[in-house]
Amino acid sequence: MYRKIFIVLAALLLVSTALKAQNKNDFLNEQLAFLQQMYFENQDHADDDFLVEQFELFLKKHPFYRQNDQILWMYGNLLENKKQIARALFQYLKLGVLFPNSALATEARNRIHQLIDQKTPMCLVDCQEALETYIDQSHFHENQIEGLFSVFSLIFSQNLSCFDEPLLEELTLFEQSCHEFDYSQDLLLYWKGILLKRMKKYSQAYGHFKKLQHLFSRSSLLPSALFESSFIAYRHLKRFTQARDGFVRLINHFPDDRHSPLAQFYLAELYAESLDSLNAGIDNYRLFLDAFPQHPLHAQAFKRLTFLYLKAQRYEEAITLIGLNLNRHAGDSSMVALVDSMANVFENTFRKYEMAARCYVLLASQLPPGEKTPYYLYRAARIYYKKMKDRARAEDICNRLTANFADTPYAEKCKLLLKQPIKK
């Protein structure tokens, strides 16, 4: 008897659930019919703002409704009429990916091609190839959430400012529409943080990166979030202690991450410029130079470390650093120019003539023989003779110059230099 009662109750529950589902579908169908009627009657565009609001609300509440292809199509057309091209393009992209078998999907792809051809906004030119390749491909996704993430990833990867605000709006709408365990929250937080940073909303960006670190301590995006939050804290929020702690954590826990070299560089910069710790700045620039000799910021770190040595009056270490880096990067014209400028700084700013002369000798010795070699030798000889009153060393350098570069103007200049009386 109990079994019969259970079966009856189960049947009633199924009927009730089916009726609720049917009622919901009927209600959604009625909403769609209303929006379609309003849309087609809106020939003078007087109701554009109302319809935009209603489409946004519908998509927020019912992100995976089976007839959303029609909603996306009408919404995209409205946005296009309002000259919000980037936002319109989003709707067409979503339509083509989420409803690949819809008759409107082909229309959406055609509209994207037309928008790209119009080149308005101009940033569409920069992503033309990526967009056209994407929309002309067949997309197969296990569910619509995966499809949406595919669209978000495409737009995010283009790194174009005209898409930043529309993408942020789409990510926020998506976040509000789905349950938090339906998608990769760490990735969404990272995207939103980067977009907010691009839009110069630094406090909000910082919060998203910190939230990612707190909630997803095992995420593969953790090193990136650590770097971004630390950089924002340093450069934009002036939270120097938090920035230092973040950079140190990144360097210590993720030494092989792509952000580690930058963290090491900015940590040195932070110590030297903001935390007023000269020795810590020196130590961290040295760590950077030793660990990342091929990094694009290597020359900049070399220059800053040299100036810190000068500021600390550690002149021998400065000249040793110059010799080491010149030897390592002698074929790099920018490094040669940098050492040349450092020699001028030694001579004219700090009046450390010995260091200036040694820089010129290093340049002459470590560079391949060429037209610059006699020039640097002459500069060194002139400093020894004119500034340091050291005739013996000036003669040694001039003899070397005339022996090896007798046909250059600098050989004659050396002869004239040595004929001048040394002023006491």
Token pair of 301, please? 């770190």
User: What pLDDT digit, counting tens, does each position of 43-60 carry?
Assistant: 999 999 999 999 999 998
127 neighbors 160 (Cβ within 8 angstroms): yes
Give the whole-angstrom CA distance, residue 73 versus residue 108: 7
The residue to which tokens 């070299």 are assigned: 261
Q: What is the mean pLDDT of residues 10-34?
A: 65
User: What would the two tokens of residue 310 be?
Assistant: 């000068």
Closest CA to 209 of 69, 223, 119: 223
Dihedral sign from CA coordinates of 370, 374, 379, 383:
positive
Token pair in block for residue 179: 């349950």
Tell me the residue type at 225: A
Is the model's pLDDT at 400 over the cut of 90? yes
pLDDT at 17 over 80: no
What's the pLDDT at 370?
A: 76
Give the pLDDT band of residue 8 (cuts 50, 70, 90): very low
Amino acid at 285: Y
CA–CA separation, 247 vs 357, rounded Å?
38
Q: What DSSP letter does each residue of 311-343 carry, written as one string? A: HTT-HHHHHHHHHHHHHHTTT-HHHHHHHHHHH
Crossing angle for the helix pair 222-235 and 240-253, to the nearest 10 degrees: 150
Encode pLDDT of 267-277 as tens digits. 999 999 999 89
pLDDT, tens digit, 9 for 90 and up, residues 123-148:
888 899 999 899 888 878 888 889 99
Residues 292-317 have a mean pLDDT of: 91
pLDDT at 377 over 80: yes
Q: Of 138-142, 195-199, 355-359, where does mean pLDDT reach its minimum? A: 138-142
Average pLDDT, stretch 256-270?
A: 97
Q: How confident is the model at residue 19 (pLDDT cuts 50, 70, 90)?
A: very low
The per-residue pLDDT for 5 is: 55
pLDDT at 424: 65
**pLDDT-based confidence at 2, cuts 50/70/90?**
low
Would you mind telling me the total number of residues written for the chain in this entry?
424
**In this structure, are residues 32 and 71 in contact, taking their beta carbons and an 8 Å threshold?**
yes
Dihedral sign for Cα 104, 108, 113, 114, please: positive
Residue with tokens 């800053």: 304
Q: Render pLDDT for 216-254 as a digit per residue (tens, 0 to 9).
A: 999 999 999 999 999 999 999 999 999 999 999 999 999
Angle between helices 353-366 and 372-382 (to 10 degrees): 160
pLDDT reported for residue 15: 43
Please enumerate in sequence order all residues whose Cβ is within 8 A of that of 143, keeping only pairs 6 or more positions apart, or say none: none
Cα gap 415→401, rounded to integer Å: 10
CA nearest to 90, candidates 62, 58, 112, 68: 112
- Res 21 pLDDT > 50: no
- Write b or e for each residue in 334-372: b if 16 or more Cβ atoms lie within 10 A of its Cβ, otherwise e: ebbebbbebbebbbeebebbbbbbbbbbbbbeebeeeee
pLDDT tens by residue, 309-351: 988 989 889 889 988 888 777 677 778 888 888 899 889 988 9
CB-based contacts of 112, cutoff 8 Å, min separation 6 = 89, 92, 93, 96, 131, 132, 135
Which pLDDT value is given to residue 123? 85
Of the chain, the end-to-end C-alpha distance in Å amounts to: 124
Q: What is the reported pTM? A: 0.83
Residue linked to tokens 């209303």: 34
What is the average pLDDT score of the chain? 89
| Mean pLDDT score, 136-165 | 90
Specify the pLDDT at position 22.
Answer: 54
Per-residue model confidence as pLDDT tens digits over 57-93? 999 889 889 999 999 999 999 999 999 999 999 999 9
- Which pLDDT score, from 0 to 100, does residue 57 have? 92
Q: What is the pLDDT of residue 297?
A: 94
In this predicted structure, what is the pLDDT of residue 164? 95
Mean pLDDT within 97-114: 93
pLDDT at 270: 97
DSSP state of 201: -
Q: What is the pLDDT of residue 12?
A: 44
Average the pLDDT over each of 52-56, 133-137, 188-192, 258-262 and give the range with the smallest value. 133-137
Nearest to 374 by CA among 361, 388, 355: 361
Closest CA to 62 of 168, 167, 160, 176: 176
Task: Output the six-digit token pair for 254.
Answer: 């993720």
